[in-house]
Amino acid sequence: MTLSAERLVLGYRGPASPRTIVPELSLSLSRGAIHCLVGPNGCGKSTLLKALAGVLTPLSGRVCLEGRELAQWGHRPLARRLALLPQNPEAPEDITVRQLVAHGRFAHQGLFGRSSAADRAAVADALALTGMAGLQNREFQALSGGERQRAWVALALAQQADYLLLDEPTTFLDIGHQLEVLSLLRQLNRDRGLTVAMVLHDLNQASEYADRLLVMDQGRLQADGRPAEVLTPALLRRVFGIEAAWVMQQHDGRRHPQMMARLPAQERATETGDADVFG
């Protein structure tokens, strides 16, 4: 009983014929795991994520949470279980961080509800977890890119949903803040049992943080499993068009797989030197 998609067909309705982006896809998230969705640009990752979150109606097929179709959950009950951080969210002028994060409590309050002690605690918790407590009274528009992204993560956390879907949560962040967000998600996953599904671009980070890695290309799932098993040189060549290999690196007392990649040989015929890595 988890979040699952059955024979999902996704796309956007045009005036004449719909533009299909995901032809047919079935998928079931693992409860309590971190899922990373990777794939080349335009492969349908974000579209799939939106459908899983229930903000995009499938052309056919269905998405179910605990066996019940998302549309039958009702908007607010669903938002209490499932939070989505979209790719380019927009905030209104003048809004403060705290006001923004408090919007995440809507599903718990209802149309007319005032905020309760539980709401305030959840907002404070979300702000503290993301390290935004000190900035809570600042205007959102005055924040740096990294701070903005953390504020959006805080909004999603304030929903206190047990499924967290994030579309490229590390964009606009420097490497330190990227790792902070990813570690935060892992911490929430380990401590609170959150099920996380996110679109990531960095394959190293995806393989580091994912319990389960889903590789998409042209709207289809090309591979699904543990990162080490999934990201084979053959798959990376087929999906991303790169020549890649994994090397084990010693760091911090542990051995980490590290991907080395380059474009296929004919594009770089004049350059040599790192052939031993791929050999």
93 binds another protein (CB under 8 A): yes
Smallest distance, another protein to C-beta of residue 49, A: 10
What residues between 96 and 125 interact with another protein by CB under 8 A?
96, 98-99, 102-104, 106-107, 109, 111-115, 119-120, 123
What residues between 140 and 179 interact with another protein by CB under 8 A?
152, 155-156, 159
What are the start-end ranges of the H helices in 222-266? 227-230, 233-240
Q: Cβ neighbours of residue 230 under 8 Å, at least 6 residues apart?
A: 213, 215, 223, 224
Q: Cβ neighbours of residue 20 under 8 Å, at least 6 residues apart?
A: 9, 10, 11, 59, 219
For another protein, which is the closer residue by CB, 166 or 215? 166
266 binds another protein (CB under 8 A): no
Q: Cβ neighbours of residue 253 under 8 Å, at least 6 residues apart?
A: none
Dist. CA 132–CA 111, nearest whole Å: 27
Task: Tell me, residue by residue from 54 to 73, as one string, x for binding to another protein by CB under 8 A and - for no binding.
Answer: xx------------------
For another protein, which is the closer residue by CB, 106 or 240? 106
Dist. CA 231–CA 222, nearest whole Å: 11
Query: What is the size of the binding site for another protein (CB under 8 A)?
Result: 47
- Give the 3-state secondary structure of residue 83: strand
Provide the binding-site residues for another protein, judged by CB under 8 A: 13-15, 50, 53-55, 75-76, 78-80, 83-86, 88-96, 98-99, 102-104, 106-107, 109, 111-115, 119-120, 123, 137, 139, 152, 155-156, 159
